[in-house]
Structure formats: C-alpha cells, structure tokens
C-alpha cells in the first residue's frame, strides 16, 4: 500500500465528493467536455508540484520547522500562547494570500501568469488546479516570505495550506447553494457564488473578491462585490481573447502568458475597476 500523506488523501476525497455533486446536480451546465479539461488541469497540478520541488530545495513546512527551531521571526519574540500564535499565523498567511492575489490583477507580468487560471470558461472544481507553474512558484515564494518575517508556527502553516486547498476546491465548485445559506456563509468564508463573480470576464467583477479563505479582507479593503454586474445568469466566464478550447488544454496553458489578448493589460494597470 502506498504511504500517501493524510493531507493528499483528504484533498482527493473532497475533490471526488464535489465532483460527484457537480455531475449529478450542477449549478450551470458545462459548455466544454469535462474529461479533456480535467486531464489537463490535474496533470498541470502534479507538474506544478514537481517543478516546485525541483526549483525550491525545501517545502514551506520544512522552512517553518527551521524558522521555529532557530526562533526567528516576530512571533517568536512576542510571548504569547501557542494557540494565539497559530491563529495569528493563519490570519497573516491568509492576508498575504489576499495581497499576492490582488497584485496578480494589478501588474501586467503577474496578470499574464494569473490569466491562465481565469481563462477557464467552464468554472468547476477542477479549475482550482489550473495555475501556471510560474504563478505557482511566485505564490509559494510569498508564503516563504511571511514565514521568515513573522516566524509562523509549523502547525499554522500545515492548517493554512490544507485549508487553502480545500477552500479552493469548494469555492471553484459548480454547486448550487441556496441564497439564504450563501448570505450567512459569506460572513465567515468564501462561497462558490462569491468567487464565481471573480471569474467573470468583466473587469469590474474580476477585480473584486480576492480572498482565499476568509472574506474579511475584501469587506475591509473595499474589494467585495455581492454579485456580478450582469447577474449570475448574464455574466460570462473567462478572459476576453482567450475563450477558445485550446487555452484550457496543455501545452497551450503553458504558453498562454506569452500571448496578448483583446483584454488590454494596460486597463488592469490603471486599476479603475475596483468596486466603490
């Protein structure tokens, strides 16, 4: 029997549950053949993990263990209970995730990489796996930075990384949640409807709802949008200029950042589309 990490088993089980729910009771019907996209996205996910391990000599958990042993970082200077430090650590990591995500939408070179994730015109649980390797590397580098500066406890890193994977699968899932329940859930977590708005091809929508696990950063920093400008029925998914099927398949996914689309990158740099 393979000695698989418990985290990986949990991720696979959650993915399968959400995938089954999508197949038997989807919120919206898929436009493209699910099998082909999913093979590309899942293959890309494992490719990203492999590339990351080749480029970076240690994992984020190994980094956190080293920092904790050496007592580096601001949290190791402050005398607080381990539970408080874990909570603070998770909050700091989540805030940095919000910041890095927002930066991906502001600066052209970063947007070109992140655009790969937004190019999917059939939003479902597998969309969570679709990230360009360079974006994957940059996102992980941000986590390393936060761990080094603040001395995030190992337990906090473990909880945050697993929580982000599970939340990502849930928020990208094509499952319907009744409006009343969704409104209450939005107080404490990102919902599929809330994040679906972020995947609209309208800049006013996509430049909102940047949160990873918690919605509070969007509320406080004025980047929250309750629903798409055109409504859920009227909104279009994807990125203008990259809606052909090939952009959701390997190897086109890897070369997509080197193409310029109809959606001008200069518009993103001006950053005029954040909700007021």
What distance in Å separates the CA atoms of residue 4 and residue 16, rounded to the nearest whole number?
17
User: Is residue 86 in some structural domain?
Assistant: yes
What residues have CB less than 8 Å from 131, skipping those under 6 apart? 44, 45, 48, 114, 116, 117, 139
Q: 236 by DSSP, 3-state: which?
A: coil
Cross-strand pairs, 26? 175
What residues have CB less than 8 Å from 228, skipping those under 6 apart? 196, 197, 200, 202, 205, 234, 235
User: Is residue 159 in some structural domain?
Assistant: yes
What distance in Å separates the CA atoms of residue 103 and residue 12, rounded to the nearest whole number?
30
What is the residue range of 238's domain?
6-176+233-270
Domain count of the chain? 1
Q: 200 by DSSP, 3-state: which?
A: strand
- C-alpha dist (Å) from residue 175 to 165, 169, 236: 17, 11, 17
Q: Are 191 and 182 in contact (CB under 8 A)?
A: yes
What is residue 125's DSSP assignment? G
pTM: 0.89
pLDDT along the chain (276 residues), means of 10: 70 95 86 79 90 74 86 82 91 96 92 94 93 92 92 93 95 93 95 96 93 96 94 92 88 89 52 46
User: Is residue 223 in some structural domain?
Assistant: no
User: Is residue 99 in some structural domain?
Assistant: yes
User: Is residue 44 in some structural domain?
Assistant: yes
pLDDT at residue number 3: 45
Strands (E), 39-177: none
User: Is residue 195 in some structural domain?
Assistant: no
Q: Are 226 and 105 in contact (CB under 8 A)?
A: no
pLDDT at residue number 32: 64
Tell whether omega for the bond before 251 is within 30 degrees of 0, i.e. cis.
yes
What distance in Å separates the CA atoms of residue 232 and residue 177, rounded to the nearest whole number?
13
User: Is residue 219 in some structural domain?
Assistant: no
User: Is residue 190 in some structural domain?
Assistant: no
């Amino acid at each position: 029997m393979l000695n698989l990490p418990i985290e990986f088993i949990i991720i696979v089980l959650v993915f399968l549950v959400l995938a089954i729910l999508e197949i038997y009771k989807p919120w919206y019907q898929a436009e493209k053949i699910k099998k082909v996209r999913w093979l590309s996205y899942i293959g890309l996910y494992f490719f990203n993990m492999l590339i990351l391990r080749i480029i970076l000599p240690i994992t984020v958990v190994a980094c956190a263990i080293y920092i904790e042993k050496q007592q580096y970082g601001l949290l190791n200077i402050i005398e607080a209970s381990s539970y408080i430090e874990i909570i603070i650590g998770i909050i700091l990591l989540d805030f940095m995730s919000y910041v890095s995500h927002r930066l991906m939408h502001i600066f052209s070179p970063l947007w070109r990489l992140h655009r790969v994730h937004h190019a999917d015109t059939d939003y479902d649980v597998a969309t969570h796996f679709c990230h360009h390797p360079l974006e994957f590397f940059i996102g992980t580098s941000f986590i390393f930075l936060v761990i080094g500066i603040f001395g995030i406890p190992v337990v906090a890193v473990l909880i945050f990384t697993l929580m982000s994977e599970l939340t990502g699968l849930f928020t990208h899932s094509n499952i319907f949640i009744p409006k009343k329940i969704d409104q209450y859930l939005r107080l404490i977590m990102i919902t599929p409807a809330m994040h679906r708005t972020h995947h609209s091809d309208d800049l006013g929508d996509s430049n909102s709802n940047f949160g990873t696990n918690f919605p509070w950063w969007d509320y406080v920093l004025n980047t929250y949008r309750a629903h798409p400008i055109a409504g859920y029925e009227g909104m279009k998914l994807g990125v203008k200029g990259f809606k052909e099927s090939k952009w959701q398949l390997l190897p086109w996914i890897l070369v997509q950042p080197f193409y310029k689309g109809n959606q001008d990158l200069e518009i993103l740099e001006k950053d005029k589309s954040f909700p007021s």
